[in-house]
Structure 1
Amino acid sequence: MKKNDDKPALTTDNASQLGVIEVQLLPNEKVAFFDVREKHSATDEELNARYAKGEIRIVTESARYSLAGILSMLQEEVEVEGEEVAPGTTEPRYKLDPEYQRRHRWSDERKSRLIESFLMNVPVPPVFLYERDLARFEVMDGRQRLTALSDFYDDKFALCGLEYWADLEGRTYSTLPKKVRDGIDRRYISSIILLKETATSDEQAALLKKIVFERLNSGGVELSSQETRNAIYNGPLNKLCMSLSENSTFRRLWGIPSGITPNAGSDDELLESGDVSTLIGRRMFEKMEDVELILRFFAYRQISYFRAGLNKISEFLDRFLFKGNFFEEDVLLSYREMFETSIEFLFDSLGSDAFTAIGQSQRPTKIVYDPIMYIANDSTVKSKYSELIGSKEILREELVAAYAEHAQLFSGRKTNYADTQARNQVIRGAFFKAISRI
């Protein structure tokens, strides 16, 4: 190997003198983040004025839908309006986007119990809709209930696990006795519609949807931050993150088995098989942490503009995803290439240890993932991909030394702005020292 005497190694010490490390952003990529400041304590007069003005007040109306009409209702298409849309383009009047669905979907038994509730006329909670445009709706809460009803009327599953109507086991909708079928057809499901006039802007609409969605789900199984984002901030960037989460190399680096499904064995079965990484990976999959990791990579490119660092990571990602859904297509295409190239480079150069603090831990962590993916997109590092892969033992040696020297920094307990910048500097220093030795 040839030693580069013209370029001095970049050590941790002199890296810290460079201040904030920033990767070069793409045109139209920059996002304006809110300042993180102490909340102003409002006076009674200010609070009264805010209330009288109607600030943060939800406008709703109620409706009832016949169960017999649910299938046709969800299949109804309406023409998409807009100058940039080709004439004749249609979309569902009621959107049940797959990105919205939680990954641990209802089993046939749970769907059957819902049908049994309607047979017995047991009260069922209303579904909540958001009017995204005039007479066009997004289902905010109740997607599983509507999907179960739609599947039942479409004969997609047979009743099972019933408690009080066990004699109907194995029956589909079309094979129910006539009077039973007529009886369930007479039932209704209620809805509460969050009207479009609630919000004056897309940003306020997103905020109000987030408030309603979180309050609706506060009494049930706790949703992860990313599950909430998928329900509220759906759009092109969100769809890209969903797509990239299926990358096989990415899944391998995080221990998420390829092809994992919500029903891929019980926890006990996975533990008995000894495949703990599969169990952890399924947990990540179910809570959409894999999708959040993709979003973190893109958002972290602008971490130097968010003074709260990782202390308010959820707020950081919310804001970035909302704004990022309006990025132009060329930015999203660059994002895809950037992510896929970075993942392959790190796997080729560091193997399955890429996101671990090598020599200190054997498990991948976000505290390593963030800076190493960030620095992998440094222009100097990118220009040396092939050389670093060809001399992977040198890069590994430098990272082992960096993690050992700064073990506390990569322990996961340091999350403020200065800590994120320090980790960026340490990882950059390790890469530059490896480059200087090639």
Structure 2
Amino acid sequence: MENLEFDDIISDDEVIEIPHEVRKINTQAYDKSVSDIVRMIEDGDINLNPEYQRNYIWDNKKSSLLIESIILNVPIPVIYVSQEEDDSWTVIDGLQRLNSLYRYFQRDYKLSGLEILTELNKSDIKTLNPKAVRVLKNGLLRIIVISHDSHPEIKYDVFMRLNTGAVKLNDQELRNCLYRGSLNDKLKNIVAKPNILKLFNLESPHNRMADCELILRFLSLLDNYDKTNDHINNYKGRMKNFINEYLLKYKNLNADALKRLDNMIEDTSKTIIEIYTVNAFKRFNSEGQYESTLNRSLMDILFISTTVLPSDRLLKNKDKIFARYKELVINDTEFRNSVTIGTSDTKVLNYRLNRWISEIKKIINE
């Protein structure tokens, strides 16, 4: 299964008010020569994010036309980058342009398909005529740098608006770009685990990181879980912002914390399968059969409840728990609505979580 399909409807369009005093975005414009840009890529000062670029790489003809345009002094669209805390740049918009330049200087391809400078066809950087090489190396590209001290949510929203490529980055691909760090790297390892693949109905990690977002969603909720009241604190009705805040806060977790997180998710996913089967994240239809799509809202309650409640008592009562779960999903209208309609609403989210944990507690405390 290549795509993850969901049947719950998210109402994630609420505008979050950001205080005016912190509502800032700082930018700086640079005109960089092609030779400077290639050097910066080689030195690691510009990060091309190979995790997602491999899926959308330009073919050699399209890359060749970019080289021709620079030699002809045709204006190239502005490139946008994010400044990291170490002052390196991560490319947000313009990835394929920079990647095409870098690949040409690495002799990865020869020019082809040129219709104006036809004499340059079949030339790589070593066989290109000296005049064309000089013009290419001195060609200027305008780069807009959005500084690391800009407000994270404003920065994220700006990058979503700049996200104009032929294949637009989704929310998680953009997080992968903006919030690089040890946690982001660990997510890619977690989603390759057999139990996670089974629960997400995948044969291999999702090629557009939808599985990483689901794990992040769970971790964000768990981090804000209030065990006294069985609800989520600090959630304001917009899941993407909620996830962004979590990843920004914990993006550089140390090795011990990452190991604990890894073990916790492994234990939780194993227990979920033992109680609810590998189809745990699918709803039942009115005949009691599993539907084909996944449901994020069911993931919320099963991930959280299985993590925060004692696994030995859950497993001891697994048959009763599963029977009650199935009954609620099929027959309880209010509960069923809470996992299908307006599911990112704060009250709806807390209702379904509190309701399910309460149901489990009644069973394990009998």
Question: Cα offset for 1:290?
Answer: 1.8
C-alpha distance in 2, partners of 1:108/1:153? 16
1:324 matched to 2:275: no
The amino acid across from 1:365 in the alignment is N
The amino acid across from 1:251 in the alignment is L
The amino acid across from 1:258 in the alignment is S
Tell me the equivalent position of 2:6: none
Tell me the equivalent position of 1:192: 144
C-alpha distance in 1, partners of 2:192/2:117? 41
The worse-fitting range, judged by mean Cα deviation, of 118-127 and 213-222 is: 213-222
Unmatched tracts of structure 1, length 5 or more: 1-35, 77-91, 260-280
Cα deviation 1:45-90 (Å, max 9, x = unaligned): xx9xx7xxx962524242322x2444332222xxxxxxxxxxxxxx
Task: Tell whether the 8 Å contact from 1:347 to 1:354 is kept in structure 2 after alignment.
Answer: yes
Tell me the equivalent position of 1:377: 307
1:367 matched to 2:297: yes
Mapping of residues 130-145 of structure 1, within 5 Å: 130-132=82-84, 136-145=88-97
1:237 matched to 2:183: yes
1:58 matched to 2:10: no
Question: Cα offset for 1:387?
Answer: 4.3
Question: Cα offset for 1:300?
Answer: 1.1
C-alpha distance in 2, partners of 1:244/1:357? 24
C-alpha distance in 2, partners of 1:170/1:386? 66
Task: Find 1:174's aligned residue among 108, 114, 126.
Answer: 126
C-alpha distance in 2, partners of 1:248/1:117? 47
1:423 matched to 2:352: yes
The amino acid across from 1:64 in the alignment is K
C-alpha distance in 2, partners of 1:231/1:333? 23
Provide closer, same or farther for how the CA distance between residues 436 and 172 of structure 1 changes in structure 2, counting only shifts above 3 A. Answer: farther
Task: Find 1:225's aligned residue among 151, 171, 176.
Answer: 171
Task: Tell whether the 8 Å contact from 1:108 to 1:159 is kept in structure 2 after alignment.
Answer: no
Tell me the equivalent position of 1:312: 238
Provide closer, same or farther for how the CA distance between residues 102 and 412 of structure 1 changes in structure 2, counting only shifts above 3 A. Answer: farther
C-alpha distance in 1, partners of 2:357/2:41? 51
C-alpha distance in 2, partners of 1:215/1:116? 28
Question: Cα offset for 1:240?
Answer: 2.3
Mapping of residues 395-406 of structure 1, within 5 Å: 395-406=321-332
Tell me the equivalent position of 1:75: 42
The amino acid across from 2:299 in the alignment is Y
C-alpha distance in 2, partners of 1:205/1:38? 13
Task: Tell whether the 8 Å contact from 2:49 to 2:177 is kept in structure 1 after alignment.
Answer: no
Q: What is the total number of aligned residue pairs between the two structures?
A: 339
Larger radius of gyration: 1
Task: Tell whether the 8 Å contact from 1:375 to 1:428 is kept in structure 2 after alignment.
Answer: yes
Tell me the equivalent position of 2:5: none
Tell me the equivalent position of 1:89: none
**What's the TM-score once normalised by structure 1's chain length?**
0.65
Mapping of residues 259-338 of structure 1, within 5 Å: 285-286=207-208, 288-301=209-222, 302-303=224-225, 304-306=231-233, 308=235, 311-325=237-251, 327-338=253-264
C-alpha distance in 2, partners of 1:410/1:134? 42
1:124 matched to 2:76: yes
Question: Cα offset for 1:432?
Answer: 5.0
Question: Cα offset for 1:371?
Answer: 0.8
Task: Find 2:66's aligned residue among 106, 114, 117.
Answer: 114
The amino acid across from 1:378 in the alignment is V
1:157 matched to 2:103: no
C-alpha distance in 2, partners of 1:399/1:365? 14
**What's the TM-score once normalised by structure 2's chain length?**
0.76
Unmatched tracts of structure 2, length 5 or more: 1-13, 226-230
C-alpha distance in 1, partners of 2:164/2:129? 39
The percent identity for this pair of structures is 22
Cα deviation 1:207-258 (Å, max 9, x = unaligned): 4533542343368765422233223222232222233233343233323331
